[in-house]
Amino acid sequence: MSTRNAEPRLPAGSPRRGNLRWAAAAGLVAAGLGVAAGELLAAGVSPSLSPVSGVGSVVIDAVPGPVKDAAIALFGTADKAALLVGMGLVIALAAVGAGLLELRRPPLGAAVLGLFGAAGLAAVLSRQQFSILALLPPVAAGAVAVLVLRALTARIRDLAAARTPEDAAVRRRTVLTSVGGGTAVALLGAALAGIARGGQVGVTALRETVRLPMPVRPAAAVPAGAELAVNGLAPLVTPAADFYRIDTALSVPLVDPDQWRLRITGMVDREVELSYAELLAQPLQESYVTLTCVSNEVGGDLIGNARWLGMPVRDLLARAGVRPGADMVLSTSRDGWSASTPLEALTDDRDALLAVGMNGEPLPLEHGFPVRMVVPGLYGYVSATKWVTELRVTRFADETAYWTDRGWGERGPIKLSSRIDVPGRSPVTAGAVTVAGVAWAQHTGISAVQVRVDDGAWQDAELAPGISADTWRQYRTSVDLAAGEHRIAVRAVDANGVRQAEEKRPVLPDGATGLHTIRVTVR
């Protein structure tokens, strides 16, 4: 039987079309196996930096601030998941292209996958957590992808060379089992990598063994009445699980507390190095501090209040001996992120902390385990470095930090602001309606909160006692509302008598201003 005679008996339409489909699948399987191999290997040899997390971090650092803000606004804390899905789609598209290209113009398709491996390598090389071992996963990922694609494509090409229908069937079965088997292995590998992503499991276990010492100076007691019993009002102390999370880390940096060291460097009389055990052995103190993100829109929820346990940063700086002329401390995290904090905010009486505990527990991994900074009165981007590893005493004139390099203000004092939590979105019944929320002016304090309905007069709300000037305060009042649509606005006055700015300003470059105003439907 001649080849020509055999051809029409090949099932399922044109073999060429079928081959293209196989080639696309081969590309996907090759890329999938490559990614799975890279992530799996990374879980073993380089848990804090894998090819995927490296590329993702480069993307995060590269996108302009406004795009980043839009992504946070759009996806909230799912912004990282959205990025991963996006990366997956890009890789899948390129993989399909590589499969088709490899069938038609070998070895161009393999070269495309090789380039992806090289991109992973470049990304890993550019990261602060870079280590020699971190080079292996992207190399392995690229190599696996290239070899698998070459092997699968060779089999797909073999399809065309079948001389008899029986031969064609055997060859098709070979392609089917290789592609199917490859898919299964890729899925299994991805699942295992996910599980072993598992340095995380290890550090979680280490975190559970930590026993925090009692504070030498406990936090000020929460005054009676500070927590108003209003449904829907943010709790006075935010549980860690509900605390907002903002950082540029695609995968949470995994820091073994026994390996952790903090170095105090720069304009100091002597460099100081501190281990976690040494830090826990210092006299620690506890205080409530309300943390706020500069990206918090008026009325937003990128704010939370917690009880932090730690060592005053000023004690450490004193030990190192700050040289004259310094005016800034550049704190750097394990993943290379940095913040520039005015030296004064770390040495004055505000009790800036090198924190190890949050609400009585060791810091959660995503909030900076094992050690982070907490500085009352300053936005997080200039002060709240998580997974902190170095404090360099320096000068604003000499060095800049992650977000200040990207157009955000050099100093980041938190702006006086307030938020309405209640009523929420659902319609309310006409009559007396409770309005409640929170107001903050960290390190200055709040003296009054006022509420206004439509264009009426401002009326004082009941202001609950505060824990300290560094924490937010709850307020509540009751307004009379007739059926229809109404606007309710809130404004706060700080302890110096300064009234909250009404002018609407965006979060960039140093925090939003304007009054939180809600619309209520009354029935």
Closer CB to ligand MTE, 372 or 486, in the complex: 372
Closer CB to ligand MTE, 127 or 172, in the complex: 127
Stretch that binds ligand MTE, among 10-18, 112-120, 330-338, 430-438 (CB under 6 A): 330-338
By CB under 6 A, tell whether 245 contacts ligand MTE.
yes
Closer CB to ligand MTE, 248 or 513, in the complex: 248
Shortest Cβ distance from residue 302 to ligand MTE (Å)?
7
By CB under 5 A, tell whether 293 contacts Mo ion.
yes
To which residue do tokens 């991109």 refer? 119
Shortest Cβ distance from residue 295 to ligand MTE (Å)?
7
Closer CB to ligand MTE, 158 or 399, in the complex: 399
Q: Which of 178, 182, 193, 217 is nearest to 51 (CA)?
A: 193
Strands 517-522 and 459-460: unpaired
Stretch that binds ligand MTE, among 59-67, 187-195, 247-255, 508-516 (CB under 6 A): 247-255
By CB under 5 A, tell whether 246 contacts Mo ion.
yes
Calculate the alpha carbon distances from 367 to 242, 350, 356 in Å.
11, 21, 10
Token pair of 385, please? 């470095």
Shortest Cβ distance from residue 215 to Mo ion (Å)?
27
Q: Is 42 exposed, middle or buried (0-12, 13-18, 19+ CB in 10 A)?
A: buried
Amino acid at 279: L
By CB under 6 A, tell whether 381 contacts ligand MTE.
yes
Q: Which among ligand MTE, Mo ion, none contacts residue 385 (Cβ within 5 to 8 A by kind)?
A: ligand MTE
Using CB atoms, what's the residue nearest to ligand MTE? 380
Shortest Cβ distance from residue 281 to Mo ion (Å)?
31
C-alpha–C-alpha distance, residues 95 and 110, integer Å:
10
Phi-psi group of 199: left, alpha or beta (phi > 0 → left; psi -120 to 50 → alpha; rest → beta): alpha
Stretch that binds ligand MTE, among 173-181, 281-289, 333-341, 465-473 (CB under 6 A): 333-341
For residue 136, which phi and psi values (nearest 5 degrees)?
-60, -50
Which of 370, 380, 423, 466 is in the footprint of Mo ion by CB under 5 A? 380
Interaction mask 387-406, ligand MTE, x per CB under 6 A? x-------------------
Closer CB to ligand MTE, 38 or 253, in the complex: 253
Which of 22, 260, 337, 369 is in the footprint of ligand MTE by CB under 6 A? 337
Q: Is 523 exposed, middle or buried (0-12, 13-18, 19+ CB in 10 A)?
A: exposed
Interface with ligand MTE in residues 420-479 (CB under 6 A): none
Closer CB to Mo ion, 38 or 511, in the complex: 511
Q: Burial code of 176-212, b = ≥16 C-beta within 10 A, e = fewer?
A: eebbeebeebbeebbeebeebbbbbeebeebbeebee
Q: Which among Mo ion, ligand MTE, none contacts residue 291 (Cβ within 5 to 8 A by kind)?
A: ligand MTE
3-state class of 359 per DSSP? coil
Q: Which of 443, 419, 420, 444 is nearest to 494 (CA)?
A: 444
* Cβ–Cβ under 8 Å, residues 282 and 315: yes
Stretch that binds Mo ion, among 174-182, 244-252, 274-282, 430-438 (CB under 5 A): 244-252
Which of 49, 168, 291, 479 is in the footprint of ligand MTE by CB under 6 A? 291
**Alpha-helical regions (H) of 129-272:** 136-160, 165-196, 199-209
Residues contacting ligand MTE: total by CB under 6 A = 19
Closer CB to ligand MTE, 26 or 255, in the complex: 255
For residue 297, which phi and psi values (nearest 5 degrees)?
-70, 160
Closer CB to ligand MTE, 117 or 304, in the complex: 304
- Residue 37: in which H helix or E strand, if any? helix 15-45
By CB under 6 A, tell whether 384 contacts ligand MTE.
yes
Binding residues vs ligand MTE (CB under 6 A):
243-249, 291, 293, 333, 335, 337, 367, 380-381, 384-387
